[in-house]
């Protein structure tokens, strides 16, 4: 039912392509890859242990956010460059795609057909996507939100 | 011999003492010498660079405040809206206000890193405001690290990796990489010609999905390949920054970033629907 663990390593190239697009400094690339793989693996672990996608994403993003912040502090860099690049493979692109697909289905259906199922599908996938994005953002911003006095990052 | 050494040592001490005194004097007077307008120009320039490079609202605001305060402003108020940034800075009986147009451009994390270094250096040693100005210009003009062709290929590979993460087979990974690379190349060209996000998103997603869809007979997981092939267009940074803005109580900017993302996603959807109709799926 689950994809093999080795598949998780694909999170590294998924993050690195976007890291190049975001012009991350070359010295920081490897850390983005490591964080991406560990974040994605944590989410898979939560899913295997019968957790849900949103909770798994939250835990993974918390891990990414905290490690990125600690690492960036030691090297005097903004933590977001690691955190955002590493979070990209967890953006719920597939849910967004399915939601939009369902909405487009409404455009192509015949005049008498009942579009309830399509609307429900679009809504469910859309809400799921929004919750995953919020969980991601909360995890990444957690060091800043929970320690506001530090005034950095 | 010994006496000579003592004398030398004394002379050295004297020079060090003089230098410190001089520096101390410089710091105390120079801070007051900067015209408020110059401080504001530099602070807004730093903030504009941060805003354009994908910094969140909170970070941009902090950068403006820290720059102005390092140069001697006492009170700093910052306004950051979706397309403008502005600040009012005060010192004793003077007050200065300025605004800049700040379009969302893209993401440049190297620039954000250099900006952080620049700010730390400025705070440590505020007497070199002219140098700081020059250094900021240099940061703004720094070239990106990676040539466009490399970025195009690697972003394509990223989408291939997404196909793999979604459980696609090797053929799906390959064709996704190919389709997404082509789409990315188209996107770069359109951005260079100043097309709006809605337009480049729909055209690039059409190209990527159409190319991937043409090869769909080679794989047993065509849906995965086609879903992954347009993911390079998903506006990840505005989505994350928007949600972070909302959680950080910057409500307006959070909604603006979400709306921007929604328009891009709508563009992707239109490209997808055109491609699917032509492919007859």
**In chain B, how many domains are there?**
2
Partners of residue B276 in chain A, C-beta under 8 Å: 104
- Residues sharing a CB contact under 8 Å with residue A48, sequence separation 6 or more, in sequence order: A2
Rounded to whole angstroms, how far apart are CA atoms B76 and B86? Answer: 10
Q: Which of A22, A26, A77 sits opposite B108 (nearest CB)?
A: A22
Greater pLDDT, B87 or A111: B87
Confidence of residue B160 (pLDDT cuts 50, 70, 90): very high
- pLDDT above 50 for A151: no
Confidence of residue A64 (pLDDT cuts 50, 70, 90): very high
Q: Are residues B156 and B115 in the same domain?
A: no
**pLDDT for res A54:** 92
- pLDDT above 60 for B271: yes
B65 lies in which domain range? Answer: 34-141
A13: closest chain B residue by CA: B158
Residue at a domain's end among B124, B141, B158: B141
A126–chain B Cβ distance below 8 A for any pair = no
Mean pLDDT of B241-245: 85
A21-56 as b/e, with b when 16 or more CB fall inside 10 Å? bbbbbeebbebbbbbbbbbbbbbbebeeeeeebbeb
Residue (of A139, A133, A143, A131) closest to A59 by Cα position: A139
Q: How far is B99 from chain A (nearest CA, A)?
A: 24
Confidence of residue B1 (pLDDT cuts 50, 70, 90): low
In a domain, B172, yes or no: yes
- The fraction of chain A above a pLDDT of 90, given in percent, is 36
pTM: 0.81
Q: How far is B93 from chain A (nearest CA, A)?
A: 28
- pLDDT above 60 for A88: yes
- Residues sharing a CB contact under 8 Å with residue A147, sequence separation 6 or more, in sequence order: none
Mean pLDDT of B183-206: 93
- The fraction of chain B above a pLDDT of 70, given in percent, is 87
Residue at a domain's end among B95, B126, B141: B141
Greater pLDDT, A93 or B193: B193
Q: Are residues B51 and B159 in the same domain?
A: no
Mutation for A interface: B46, B55, B109, most A CBs within 10 A: B109
In a domain, A120, yes or no: no
Partners of residue A76 in chain B, C-beta under 8 Å: 116-117, 120
Residue at a domain's end among B90, B116, B141: B141
In a domain, A45, yes or no: yes
Partners of residue B113 in chain A, C-beta under 8 Å: 25, 28, 77-78, 81
A57–chain B Cβ distance below 8 A for any pair = no
pLDDT in tens, B55-114: 888 889 999 999 999 888 889 999 988 788 999 999 888 899 999 998 776 788 899 899
In a domain, A77, yes or no: yes
Confidence of residue A153 (pLDDT cuts 50, 70, 90): very low
Q: Are residues B52 and B90 in the same domain?
A: yes
Q: Are residues B182 and B228 in the same domain?
A: yes
Q: How far is A53 from chain B (nearest CA, A)?
A: 14
pLDDT in tens, B246-259: 888 889 889 988 89
Q: Are residues B274 and B158 in the same domain?
A: yes
Mean pLDDT of A3-32: 88
**pLDDT for res A110:** 82
Q: Are residues B124 and B81 in the same domain?
A: yes
Mean pLDDT of A137-147: 83
B270: closest chain A residue by CA: A104
Asked if residues B247 and A141 have their Cβ atoms less than 8 Å apart, the reply is yes
pLDDT in tens, B103-159: 776 788 899 899 988 988 888 877 677 788 888 888 888 888 889 999 999 999 999
**Cβ of A81 and B167 within 8 Å?**
no
In a domain, B111, yes or no: yes
In a domain, A96, yes or no: no
Confidence of residue B200 (pLDDT cuts 50, 70, 90): very high
Q: How far is B269 from chain A (nearest CA, A)?
A: 6
Q: Which of B113, B158, B248 sits opposite A17 (nearest CB)?
A: B158
Across the A/B interface, how many CB contacts are shorter than 8 Å? 164
In a domain, A127, yes or no: no
**pLDDT for res B9:** 58
In a domain, A56, yes or no: yes
Q: How far is A40 from chain B (nearest CA, A)?
A: 10
Partners of residue A85 in chain B, C-beta under 8 Å: 109
In a domain, B11, yes or no: no
- pLDDT above 60 for A86: yes
**pLDDT for res B173:** 92
B247: closest chain A residue by CA: A138
**pLDDT for res A148:** 63
In a domain, A32, yes or no: yes
Confidence of residue A4 (pLDDT cuts 50, 70, 90): confident
| Minimum mean pLDDT range among A58-67, A70-79, B58-67 | A70-79
Pairing state of beta strands B75-80 and B94-101?
unpaired
Q: Are residues B119 and B168 in the same domain?
A: no
In a domain, A102, yes or no: no
**In chain A, how many domains are there?**
1
Q: Are residues B192 and B218 in the same domain?
A: yes
Q: Are residues B158 and B242 in the same domain?
A: yes
**pLDDT for res A141:** 84
Q: Are residues B75 and B170 in the same domain?
A: no
Q: How far is B98 from chain A (nearest CA, A)?
A: 24
H/E segment holding residue B80? strand B75-80
**Cβ of B165 and A11 within 8 Å?**
yes
**pLDDT for res B21:** 52
Partners of residue A93 in chain B, C-beta under 8 Å: 162, 227-228, 230-231, 234
Average pLDDT, chain B: 85
A16–chain B Cβ distance below 8 A for any pair = yes
| Minimum mean pLDDT range among A45-54, A117-126, B2-11, B166-175 | B2-11
Confidence of residue A79 (pLDDT cuts 50, 70, 90): confident
Q: Are residues B63 and B162 in the same domain?
A: no
Q: CA of B35: how far to CAs of A89, B32, B94, B95, B96, in Å?
A: 47, 8, 10, 11, 10
């Amino acid at each position: 039912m689950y994809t093999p663990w080795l598949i998780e390593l694909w999170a590294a190239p998924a993050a690195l392509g976007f890291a190049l697009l975001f012009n991350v400094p070359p010295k920081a690339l490897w850390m983005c890859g490591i964080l991406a793989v560990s974040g994605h693996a944590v989410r898979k672990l939560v899913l295997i242990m019968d957790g849900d996608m949103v909770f798994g994403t939250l835990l993974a993003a918390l891990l990414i956010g905290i490690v990125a912040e600690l690492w960036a502090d030691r090297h005097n860099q903004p933590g977001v460059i690691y955190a955002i690049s590493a979070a990209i493979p967890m953006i719920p692109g597939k849910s967004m795609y399915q939601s939009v697909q369902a909405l487009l289905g409404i455009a192509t259906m015949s005049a008498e057909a009942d579009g309830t199922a399509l609307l429900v599908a679009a809504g469910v996938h859309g809400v799921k996507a929004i919750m995953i994005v919020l969980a991601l953002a909360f995890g990444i911003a957690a060091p800043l939100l929970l320690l506001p006095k530090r005034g950095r990052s | 011999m010994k006496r000579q050494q003592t004398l030398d040592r004394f002379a050295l001490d004297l020079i060090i003492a003089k230098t410190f005194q001089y520096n101390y004097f410089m710091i105390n007077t120079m801070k007051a010498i900067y015209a408020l307008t110059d401080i504001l120009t530099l602070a807004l320039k730093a903030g504009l660079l941060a805003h354009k490079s994908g910094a969140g609202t909170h970070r941009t605001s902090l950068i403006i405040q820290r720059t102005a305060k390092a140069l001697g402003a006492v009170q700093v108020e910052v306004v950051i809206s979706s397309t403008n940034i502005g600040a009012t800075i005060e010192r004793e009986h003077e007050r200065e206000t300025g605004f800049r147009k700040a379009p969302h451009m893209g993401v440049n994390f190297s620039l954000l890193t250099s900006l952080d270094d620049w700010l730390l250096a400025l705070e440590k040693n505020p007497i070199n405001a002219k140098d700081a100005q020059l250094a900021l210009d240099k940061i703004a003009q720094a070239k990106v690290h990676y040539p466009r062709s490399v970025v195009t290929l690697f972003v394509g590979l990223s989408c291939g990796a997404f196909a793999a993460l979604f459980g696609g087979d090797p053929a799906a990974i390959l064709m996704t990489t190919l389709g997404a690379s082509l789409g990315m190349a188209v996107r770069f060209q359109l951005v260079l010609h100043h097309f709006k996000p809605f337009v480049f998103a729909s055209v690039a997603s059409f190209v990527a999905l159409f190319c991937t869809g043409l090869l769909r007979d080679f794989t047993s997981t065509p849906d995965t390949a086609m879903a992954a092939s347009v993911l390079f267009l998903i506006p990840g940074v505005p989505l994350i920054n928007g949600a972070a803005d909302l959680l950080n109580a910057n409500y307006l900017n959070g909604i603006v970033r979400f709306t921007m993302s929604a328009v891009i996603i709508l563009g992707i959807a239109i490209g997808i629907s055109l491609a699917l109709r032509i492919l007859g799926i």
